[in-house]
Amino acid sequence: MRFPCCARVFSAPSFAILLAIPASAGPLASDAHRDATPSDIRDPNVIYGDDDRVEAWEVDDVSLAPLLGAACVVVDQSELTYSAINDAYQLATRPWTHVNGLPICSNERFFGQPTVGDCSAFLVARDLVVTAGHCIAPFEPRAFVFGFAVDGSSGAAPAQASFDDVYFAEEVIARSTGEVDYAVVRLDRPVVGRAPAPIRRTGAPAVGDPIAIIGHPAALPLKYAGGAAVTSASPGAPTFEADVDAYAGNSGSMIVNGATGRVEGVLVRGHADFAFNGACFRSNQLEGDAINAEDCVSVASFAHLIPMPTLGVTAQAARRHDGPAGGPFTPGDMAYTLSNPSEHPIRWRAKIEGASVLSITTPPSGTLLPGEMTTLSASVNGVASTLGAGFAESSVVISDITNDTGPSFHHTIEIGRFGVERATPMAIPDPGATSIYLSVPTEATIADLDVDLRVEHTWIGDLSVRLTSPAGTSVVLHNRSGGSRDDIDARYDDASNPPAGGLLASFNGEQAKGLWRVDVTDHARRDTGRLLRVALRVLDERETPIVADLAAPRGVVDVADVSTFLALFGTGDMRADYASPYGTLDIADIVAYLGYFGAGL
């Protein structure tokens, strides 16, 4: 019998008997793992032939970049600490220097690199990952961290992961821990900026097929190891074997066919990782053609659980654009990554719907061959700069013509007002309090402030929410109202939906720039929830409309006065009424009159 890839290499009883030393707690050790026997301990192996493991940045085959991007490490949620200031998670890493409390030889490759988690996984759909079944269980607080890899420039691995690289297990779709050891897990939201790995859906690899493994050996930063091959496979069998270089932490790693670029399987079992030389542990090493290579579960055996791939579209920019009248708008540009994870060409087309304030700046249609990717770009155009204060709504619609599907991305351009938002799901302690910070980088004197708030909670009467400005002014947005109702999804505005305590006008005249804090408190036990989104919408005093009163003592205004006023201040956001014996004329009428007849009449 083999050990699961993530099991500790030596359990306390067997380790004590065979090596006569205790097994203290430490990093998970073995990924390849048969039951230990005396001969296994003397000469166990995990490296087949040469050690082919390299850092992800050292892989120069650009076709492998999407596969490397689809890999992630499986961690306990307790290994993540969220920082509102950085909008990132601190990783509870530990140096790779010991196995089960005993030292690793200092000349071992990757000695001292940081480790986190205990398994590997990979993205197979927008919100689905695959890992080994023994790496996760229902209701277990697990998370998936993408991008845990050594940086090619600095040579260092990250100590933190951005919000867009961390996802939480929401549902275990399917799980098996027997011979066919796998799990399909739904994430809390679609993954941003990464394409799903293409998988084999039918059939099986052939003996001799070139194979590579992508994952996190010993929970180290991401590694790629080629130079392997399928050593045993049968048509229709749910498992196969390959002589890949694997360790503990590689459980759940993708096994990639080097000829097709598709994932063939999931690494789940194998040999013991290390041999103890009396002073320290070293990697085990076998000949490349060794019998009994690593066990892999074929993805084709559970491919029916994974949606058929269609055009993959990932938005790379925010969908809200703010700026003063006349522009510029931030962000001004947006990009979408289009990918084809299927086995057939996909025809696609993009267009703009709604207000004509966006323009596509790259070819708006094309065909992607299997495995290909491209970037579609768009930008806020000059039409937006001609509009007065207000909103313009527009959408980028991307169609998968081949499969008659495709997403639509709604964009809002707000003229005369800017905003910041944090869409960072954060658990609310039950009971207890949590805080989220929003950094406003723009210098502006507040003329008006609206606040968008979205909270997921099963009893909003338990909650209070307070907003505090950089100057220290506080307003209570929500104060235990709503009783047993679920969730808060509201825009607070003094005119239409005033806060529970105080007015947002309390912030008027203050400087918007700086750190704003939102405190959410759950005052009672049992019901739980998350803070999902907070957004500030700031109107700068400089963008408020000019209201002019040109009334003369006798109620008559000379047309030359109007002409002079317009020359000085312009007509942008000015509101004016011009009374005549025939009714009221708006400013457009006056401008048209002056343009036609001149100011001398």
Look at residues 290, 288, 284, 294 and name the one whose alpha carbon lies nearest to residue 45. Answer: 284
Q: How many angstroms from the chain centroid is the CA of residue 94?
A: 24
Q: Is 344 exposed, middle or buried (0-12, 13-18, 19+ CB in 10 A)?
A: exposed
Q: How confident is the model at residue 362 (pLDDT cuts 50, 70, 90)?
A: very high
Q: How far is CA 375 from CA 372, 421, 567, 572, in A?
A: 11, 26, 45, 37
Which whole number is the average pLDDT over 101-123?
91
Task: Collect all residues with Cβ–Cβ distance below 8 Å to 254 and sequence separation of at least 6.
Answer: 67, 70, 71, 120, 122, 130, 197, 213, 214, 215, 263, 265, 266
Confidence of residue 287 (pLDDT cuts 50, 70, 90): low
Confidence (pLDDT) at 74: 97
pLDDT higher for 463 or 420? 463
Greater confidence, 138 or 132? Answer: 132
The confidence band for 556, taking pLDDT boundaries of 50, 70 and 90, is very low
Give the pairing type, strands 98-99 and 102-103.
antiparallel
CA–CA separation, 86 and 166 (whole Å)? 14
> What's the pLDDT at 275?
72
* pLDDT (0 to 100) of residue 153: 79
Tell which residue, 260, 259, 250, has the closest CA to residue 213.
250
Question: How many of the other CB atoms lie within 10 Å of CB of 588?
Answer: 10
Instruction: Kindly report, residue by residue over 512-537, the tens digit of the pLDDT.
Output: 999 999 999 999 988 888 898 898 98
Please say if the pLDDT value at position 130 is more than 50: yes
User: What is the distance between the alpha carbons of residues 73 and 169, in angstroms, rounded to a whole number?
Assistant: 13
Which tokens is 199 given? Answer: 């998988």
Strands 160-162 and 88-91: antiparallel
Q: How far is CA 540 from the centre of its chain?
A: 31
**Selected residue with higher pLDDT from 371 and 385:** 385
> What pLDDT score does 156 carry?
85
Q: Is 130 helix (H, G, I), strand (E, B) or coil?
A: strand
Q: Residue 224 and residue 254: Cα distance in Å, rounded? A: 10
Q: Taking 60 as the threshold, does the pLDDT of residue 23 lie above it?
A: no
* Statement: residue 20 has pLDDT above 70: no
Alpha-carbon distance of 398 to 400, in angstroms, equals 7
Distances 419 to 213, 329, 408 between C-alpha atoms, Å: 44, 11, 22
Determine the pLDDT at residue 265: 94
Question: What pLDDT score was predicted for residue 27?
Answer: 31
Q: Answer positive or negative: Cα dihedral of 265, 269, 270, 275.
A: positive
Tokens of 548: 């002019």
Beta-bridged to residue 334, according to DSSP, are 378
Tell me the pLDDT band of 145, cut-offs 50, 70 and 90: very high
- Residue of 247 and 45 predicted with greater confidence: 247
For position 190, what pLDDT does the model report? 86
- Say whether 465 sits in a helix, a strand or coil: strand
**What's the confidence (pLDDT) of residue 210?**
94
Q: What is the pLDDT of residue 317?
A: 62
pLDDT band at 221 (very low <50, low <70, confident <90, very high): very high
- Mean pLDDT score across all residues of the chain: 80
Residue 325 phi, psi (nearest 5): -60, 130
595 pLDDT band, cuts 50/70/90, is low
* Higher per-residue confidence, 524 vs 388: 524
Q: What is the predicted pLDDT for the residue at 388?
A: 78
SS3 332: coil
Q: How far apart are CA 496 and CA 489, in angstroms?
A: 14
Higher pLDDT, 290 or 251: 251
What is the pLDDT confidence band of residue 79, given thresholds at 50, 70 and 90? very high
Q: What whole-number percentage of the chain has pLDDT above 70? A: 79
Average pLDDT over residues 481-501: 87
The answer to whether the beta carbons of residues 274 and 9 sit under 8 Å apart is yes
pLDDT, tens digit, 9 for 90 and up, residues 154-186: 888 888 999 989 999 999 999 999 889 999 999
Q: Is the pLDDT of residue 508 over 70?
A: yes
- The band of 269, judged by pLDDT with boundaries at 50, 70 and 90, is confident
Cut 0.75: pTM above it: no
Structure tokens at 583: 């009714």
Question: Strand locations in 30-126, DSSP E?
Answer: 33-34, 47-48, 53-55, 71-76, 80-83, 88-91, 94-95, 98-99, 102-103, 114-115, 119-125
Domains and CATH numbers, the chain: 2-305 (2.40.10.120), 312-415 (2.60.40.2310), 418-543 (2.60.120.260), 545-601 (no CATH)
pLDDT score of 2 more than 80: no
> Six-digit token pair at 463?
């909650």
Residue 579 has pLDDT above 70, yes or no: no
Average pLDDT over residues 426-454: 89
What does the block give as tokens for 44?
């166990």
Q: CA-CA distances (angstroms) from residue 24 to 101, 280, 282?
A: 5, 15, 18
